[in-house]
Amino acid sequence: MKNFSKVIFTLYLEKLIKLMKSPKQFIEAAGFLYLQPYQWDSFDLDQDQEEEIVFLQEDILGREYILLNIINKNEQNFNLIQEKIQESYFNSHNSILYPSRPLKLLDLTGDSVPEILLFLNSGRYGAHLHVFEYKNRNLQRVLYIDEFKYPKYIFTDTNKNLIPEIIIKDVGVKYEYDKKTNSFIKIKEVETAYK
C-alpha cells in the first residue's frame, strides 16, 4: 500500500502542483500519499515574501537517485524546480544515526538565508554532504563533501564570526565559508579538536 501511494505521488506530482492553492494544502496531500516529516521543510529561500517548499523524493523503482525538489510560487502559479542526485539514498548528519534525517535548512554563509543541506549515502562509508543554494529560481550546488568514512557533521560557530563552520567530528577538519571568494575553505586543524 505504501509503495502504491508512492507511485501515485510520483506520477501525479506535477498535476498536484498545478492544482495546489497553498503550500499547506500541498503538504497535507503529499503527506497523506508519501511525504514524511523528515523529507521536507519550507522557507522563503529567495526572499520574495513567499515560502518555498523543499522536499526529497526517492526513486520509486530502486535506489538509483534522489530528487531534490523545490516548489516555488511564481505570481499565482506554483512550479517545480528539480535536481537529480545519482546513486543516493537517505542518511543523516551523523552517518550511523537511524532513522535517517537527510534534509536540513541552515544558513552557512551568514546572510540569514538558509542553504539546503542533504545527507545522502551512495552505498558505503556513510553520509556525503551536499550543500545547495537557491537563488533567482536557480539551484546550485556550492559544496560537496564525500571523502570521510562514516562522518559525523557538526555545525558550530567556533571562531565566533556568527557563521557556523562545518566540522567533521574526530577528524580534525572543518569547512569555513569565505565571503571574499564566496566559497567554502577546507581547514585542517593540527589538534584533533571538537571531540
Q: In angstroms, what is the minimal distance from the CB of 115 to Ca ion?
A: 5
With vertex at residue 58, the alpha carbon angle to CA 65 and CA 151, rounded to the nearest 5 degrees, is: 70
- Stretch 136-175 residues interacting with Ca ion (CB under 5 A): 157, 159, 161, 163
Please list, in sequence order, all residues whose beta carbon lies within 8 angstroms of the beta carbon of residue 27, skipping any fewer than 6 positions away.
35, 40, 42, 53
Q: Please tell me whether residue 109 binds Ca ion under the rule CB under 5 A.
A: yes
Nearer to Ca ion, 163 or 171 (CB): 163
Please list every residue from 63 through 102 that binds Ca ion, using CB under 5 A. none
Give the shortest CB-122-to-Ca ion separation in angstroms: 26
Site map (CB under 5 A) of Ca ion, residues 37-56, x = contact:
-------x-x-x-x-x----
3-state secondary structure 169-188: CCCCEEEEEECCCCEEEEEE
Contact flag: residue 107 with Ca ion (CB under 5 A): yes
Strands 183-188 and 165-168: unpaired
Beta bridge partners of 60: none
Which residues contact Ca ion by CB under 5 A? 44, 46, 48, 50, 52, 107, 109, 111, 113, 157, 159, 161, 163
